[in-house]
Amino acid sequence: MSSRTLPLLFINLGGEMLYILDQRLRAQNIPADKAKKVMNDIITTMFNKKFLEELFKPQDLYSKKALRTVFDRLAHASIMRLNQASMDKLYDLMTMAFKYQVLLCPRPKDLLLVSFNHMDAIKDFVKDTPGILSQVDETYQQLIEMYTPLSSGDFQLIRQTLLIFFQDMHIRVSIFLKDKVQNSNGRFVLPTSGPVPHGTQVPGLIRMFSCTGEELTRLQFSNGGNYTAALREGSFEIFGDRVTKLGTNMYSVSRPVETHMSGTSKNSAQHTKVNTAPNPLAKEELNLLAKLMGGLEVQKPGNADSGFRVNLFATDEEEEEALISRPDELSYGVIKIQATKDQQANAELAKIMGEFTESGDQSPSASSKGDDLLAMMDGL
């Protein structure tokens, strides 16, 4: 397991979440000013400096349930609200999209290019908001400093850690099914064609050398695919052509997206139930991260006219049916964070919470919005 996996997992899942929400906000004809506020608020929360300081510390991955709780809070960082079924679908789409990208990365190091594609898109969402843009740019620098010096072996370990995290997730997604890159059992189809990874050659040739390094013979064989020469390497700088399309917005062309539980997932529900139970250490780490994000319970906006609900299904009836039909074992419960209780139990966490409270007291708008996640971020 790699201790450097969490930042990449969080940023890539966050990028996929923003793609999906942007598409749904447009599909539901949400007024442009409200849609922009939602995107800005979520991105501000994602790239909060103190939160990212904790995120970038070497640490093990959280359990699936703990990570789901973080994204549940993140999705509700603004005036938008999601019902349980829509939040389940949002998380399913996020995780399956990134799992697909991890599987198709030509080289383990290309995970960083996928991350940069997500970061490029996030920058485009906030290009007219300099304050938020500077937060994103700062994270860009952190990613470059942390990951560009890593060896191929380090990236292979990160990729393996991600695949272990995703290995029991087999949610069928309509876009993948229509494009024939996913089977009916929820497993992805790996291509046997296209360009080979950068720095490698098209398979099909065996060369034999003498002990002195002189080439003796060549043998050709059928590689069983339709491979082409490698493309140029993508840019690992803040600005540049990433070359790979993995990590770009697959919802840019409007089409309905549905998710379905595969038979494999249903049959292994008990196995999933065991794996998703958070251990005490993961919950403690989550509590700290939740506090750094302003981790009090998220409340509905005080002004009923200012808030709105987003539905990731075509109709409310479909949303209700999805909630009823989803197995309990596969619905990630949200871990309840008791901020006051944790403050009493842990002096260090209390100190951190105190810093947030002092910052929040300086902002009148933050105090008026109560315990909403965004309010805590506004108070920083």
For the chain, the first-to-last Cα distance in angstroms comes to 34
Rounded-to-integer distance, Cα 22 and Cα 125, Å? 9
DSSP one-letter string for 211-236: TTS-EEEEEE---SSEEEPPPPPPP-
Whole-Å CA distances, 290 to 26, 30, 57, 72, 78 = 29, 28, 15, 11, 16
Query: Exposed/middle/buried for 67, CB within 10 Å: 0-12, 13-18, 19+?
Result: buried
DSSP one-letter string for 280-336: HHHHHHHHHHHHHTT-SPP---SSTTT-EE--SSSSHHHHHHHHHHS-GGGS-PPPP
Q: Which residues of 15-34 are buried (b: 16+ CB within 10 A; e: fewer)?
A: bbbbbbbbbbbebeebeeeb
Q: Where are the alpha helices (H) located in the chain, listed in sequence order?
A: 5-27, 32-46, 49-55, 64-75, 84-104, 110-125, 130-147, 152-166, 174-178, 263-267, 269-275, 280-292, 316-325, 339-345, 347-361, 364-368, 373-378
Helix axes 32-46, 64-75, angle to 10 degrees: 140
How much is the pLDDT for 69? 87
Is residue 92 within 8 A of residue 171, CB to CB? The reply is yes
Rounded-to-integer distance, Cα 74 and Cα 182, Å? 29
β-partners of residue 219 are 206
Tokens 């069928």 appear where?
172
Rounded-to-integer distance, Cα 333 and Cα 168, Å? 17
How much is the pLDDT for 1? 66
The rounded average pLDDT for each run of 10 residues, N- to C-terminus, in the chain (380 residues) is: 88 95 90 93 91 87 86 89 89 94 94 96 94 93 94 95 93 89 92 90 94 94 90 90 92 62 46 43 53 44 61 70 64 45 45 44 37 41
- CA 39-102-251 angle, to 5 degrees, is 40
Tokens 């000013």 appear where?
33
Residues 6+ apart with CB under 8 A from 352: 50, 288, 291, 292
How much is the pLDDT for 340? 42
- CA 378-312-82 angle, to 5 degrees, is 40
Rounded-to-integer distance, Cα 92 and Cα 169, Å? 9
Rounded-to-integer distance, Cα 37 and Cα 351, Å? 31
Is the pTM higher than 0.85? The answer reads: no
Residues 6+ apart with CB under 8 A from 115: 8, 11, 12, 143, 247
Rounded-to-integer distance, Cα 228 and Cα 244, Å? 15
Phi, psi (rounded to 5 degrees) for 358: -65, -40
Q: Which one-letter DSSP state was computed for residue 189? A: P
Residues 6+ apart with CB under 8 A from 254: 23, 26, 27
